[in-house]
């Protein structure tokens, strides 16, 4: 069995969202599974001294234009949220909590959360809003609310972010194929060739 493709993303990352809409089909094309890892770019940026893309002069304006154009290019529905960026502990904790029991379900719920934010502008950093989204996916609202505040889940997310950093993750999306690192939606063409040829 080939190893799964590790897929790292932040729930507030537009390129991470578009990549999330693509990664499972890309992996499946080569008989691969995926392993989704929510990370917190805020914590990652602290390590690298980086700032959110949209906060950079000149580059920030271009980025907003490029988010929308890249979504059209990849045929993914996208609307720039009014509140951006957002803290993503809440959706990340819900995802990690679900993942422990059922990774495939965690991916479905994560996808619903990403679409809620990047298509419908719902502020998923807010627990009530995030819970309304996941409840529609059949997740028990009270159990999910408890998970958001559960010290064990908080700790699991902290460890996930630390492990990502230790592995060299510095942005979203970030993919590993058999240990080879790829940063960015715009490396998916290289990811595809790597999967097809086993490296190049």
Task: State in angstroms the smallest separation of the CB of 96 from a copy of itself.
Answer: 23
Two tokens, residue 76: 């993914």
57 is a site residue for a copy of itself (CB under 8 A): yes
46 is a site residue for a copy of itself (CB under 8 A): no
Of the candidate residues 29, 189, 196, 198, the single one contacting a copy of itself (CB under 8 A): 189
For residue 7, give the H/E element and its range.
strand 5-9
> In the block, which residue shows the tokens 């001294």?
49
For residue 37, give the H/E element and its range.
strand 34-38
Of the candidate residues 120, 143, 193, 196, the single one contacting a copy of itself (CB under 8 A): 193
170 is a site residue for a copy of itself (CB under 8 A): yes
DSSP conformation class of 3: P
Tally of CA atoms within 13 A in the half-sphere of 90 that contains its CB: 19
Distance between start and end Cα atoms, the chain: 21
Helix (H, G, I), strand (E, B) or coil at 54: helix
184 is a site residue for a copy of itself (CB under 8 A): yes
178 is a site residue for a copy of itself (CB under 8 A): no
Q: How many residues of this chain bind a copy of itself (CB under 8 A)? A: 29
Of the candidate residues 33, 50, 86, 127, the single one contacting a copy of itself (CB under 8 A): 50
Task: State in angstroms the smallest separation of the CB of 48 from a copy of itself.
Answer: 5
Of the candidate residues 3, 29, 65, 152, the single one contacting a copy of itself (CB under 8 A): 65
Residues 6+ apart with CB under 8 A from 182: 174, 175, 176, 188, 190, 191, 194
Report how far residue 83's alpha carbon sits from residue 81's, in angstroms, rounded to the nearest whole number. Answer: 5
Instruction: Name which of 2 and 199 has its Cβ closer to a copy of itself.
Output: 199
Task: State in angstroms the smallest separation of the CB of 180 from a copy of itself.
Answer: 8
Task: State in angstroms the smallest separation of the CB of 80 from a copy of itself.
Answer: 17
| Angle, helix 151-167 to helix 141-149, in steps of 10 degrees | 60
Catalog residues that contact a copy of itself under the rule CB under 8 A. Answer: 47-50, 56-59, 61-62, 65-66, 69-70, 72-73, 165, 168, 170-171, 181, 183-184, 186-187, 189-190, 193, 200
């Amino acid at each position: 069995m080939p190893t799964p493709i590790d897929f790292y993303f932040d729930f507030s990352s537009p390129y991470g969202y578009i990549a999330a809409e693509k990664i499972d089909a890309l992996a499946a094309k080569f008989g691969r599974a995926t392993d989704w890892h929510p990370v917190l770019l805020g914590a990652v940026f602290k390590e690298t001294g980086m700032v959110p893309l949209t906060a950079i002069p000149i580059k920030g304006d271009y980025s907003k234009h490029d988010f929308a154009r890249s979504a059209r290019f990849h045929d993914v529905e996208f609307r720039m949220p009014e509140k951006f960026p957002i803290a993503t502990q809440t959706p990340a904790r819900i995802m990690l909590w679900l993942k422990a029991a059922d990774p495939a379900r965690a991916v479905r719920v994560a996808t619903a959360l990403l679409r809620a934010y990047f298509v419908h502008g719902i502020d998923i950093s807010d627990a009530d809003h995030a819970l309304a989204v996941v409840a529609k996916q059949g997740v028990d609202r009270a159990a999910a609310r408890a998970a958001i505040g559960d010290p064990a889940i908080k700790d699991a997310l902290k460890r996930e972010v630390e492990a990502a950093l230790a592995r060299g993750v510095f942005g979203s999306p970030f993919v590993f194929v058999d240990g080879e690192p790829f940063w960015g939606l715009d490396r998916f063409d290289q990811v595809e060739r790597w999967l097809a040829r086993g490296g190049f």
